[in-house]
Each structure stands twice: as structure tokens, then as C-alpha cells.
Amino acid sequence: FFHWGLHAWAIYAIVALILAFFSYRHGLPLTLRSALYPIIGDRIYGPVGHAVDIFAVIGTVFGVATSLGYGVLQVNAGLNHLFGVPINETVQVILIVVITGLATISVVSGLDKGIRILSELNLGLALLLLALVLCLGPTVLLLKSFVENTGGYLSELVSKT
């Protein structure tokens, strides 16, 4: 119940608002150390601030590595199911190298080219998948489930918070 929806995104929004406030109102760098400015002041530019940013980067790397690892296992299982590709470490390493290479190319090419193109492609594929599932799948059941689950989420939102 709390893994998606308003609760999960509210946490991200709070951090984003804090960073945006201190960056745009106080001219501080757009890093996590800036959120600690009211507590430690100008020490955000010293070892404490560097430590905060280092821990943020390490946490991000571990989070991305975990997601990539689980994702590669799922993609390998899907390729095995669809095309008979063996489930082994060699295939998984190849998948990791390909995904990491594509992500690196996207990041190096900048926001206007690589990331923008990937974002638009992702949105287009998601809308296409949504339309295909809605049209070719059990449409009435999907719409009924959508309405019921949205209502259930909203009606239990306060009681489960």
C-alpha cells in the first residue's frame, strides 16, 4: 500500500522542495549538503558537507546497482521464456554492459539530446503498451479494476497513514 502512490512520491517531493528552496533562494549548490545549511551553516563547504555528498553518491550507486541487478535477472528470465536465451551469468553480464553503455551514451550526450530522446521514447512506448493492453486485453475488467483500486486507495489513504 505504501510502496507506490502518494506516500512514496511525497518523500521525494519533500527532498526536492528543500533542495530547490536552498538552491534558488539562497544561492547554494544543488546538492544534498545544502539541505543541512540551517543546521551546520557554512560548514557545508567543508569536510562535513563533502561527507554528506559522498554518502549521497554511494547510496545512489548502491540503489542503482540493486535495481540494475534485479532488472537484469528479470530481463534474462524474459528472454529465456520468449527466445530460449540461457539463464546464466554470461548473459547477465552482457545485459549489464549493454544497459550501462546505453545509459552512459545517454548521459554523455546531455539533457537536450540523449536523456530527452530516451524520455520521449519511454513515454511513447509506455503509452503504446497502455493502449495495446487496454484494446487487446480485458478492457472492461481493466477499467473496472482501475476504478475500484483507485477508490480503495483513496478511501483507505487516511486510515492506513
Residue 76: other Cβ atoms inside 10 A: 19
Contact status, residue 76 vs residue 70, Cβ threshold 8 Å: no
pLDDT tier, 1 (very low <50, low <70, confident <90, very high otherwise): low
Domain-located, residue 22: no
Q: For position 148, what pLDDT does the model report? A: 96
- Are the beta carbons of 8 and 2 closer than 8 angstroms? yes
What's the half-sphere exposure (Cβ side, CA atoms, 13 Å) at 69? 6
Place of cell 524474459: 78
Query: In the predicted model, what is the mean pLDDT of the chain?
Result: 93
Cα 20 to Cα 94: distance, rounded to the nearest angstrom: 38
Per-residue pLDDT tens digits for 49-84:
999 999 999 999 999 999 999 999 999 999 999 999
Nearest C-alpha neighbor of 49 from the set 40, 59, 62, 58 = 40
Residue 102 lies in a domain: no
DSSP 111: I
Residue 6 pLDDT: 82
User: In angstroms, how far is CA 155 from the centroid of its own chain?
Assistant: 27
Question: Under a CB-based contact definition with an 8 Å cutoff, are residues 31 and 22 in contact?
Answer: no
Q: What is the pLDDT of residue 70?
A: 97
Please state, in angstroms and rounded to a whole number, the distance separating the CA atoms of residues 44 and 48.
6
* Residue 37 maps to a domain: no
> Under a CB-based contact definition with an 8 Å cutoff, are residues 46 and 33 in contact?
no
Residue 123: inside a domain: yes
Q: Is residue 28 included in any domain, yes or no?
A: no
User: Which 8-state DSSP code applies to residue 45?
Assistant: G
**In this predicted model, what pLDDT tens digit does every residue of 110-158 receive, in sequence order?**
878 888 898 999 999 999 999 999 999 999 999 999 999 999 988 988 8
* Whole-number pLDDT of residue 126: 98
In a domain, 136, yes or no: yes
For the chain, the domain total comes to: 1
What confidence score (pLDDT) does residue 110 get?
A: 84
User: Counting every residue, how long is the chain?
Assistant: 161
Parent domain of 128: 110-161
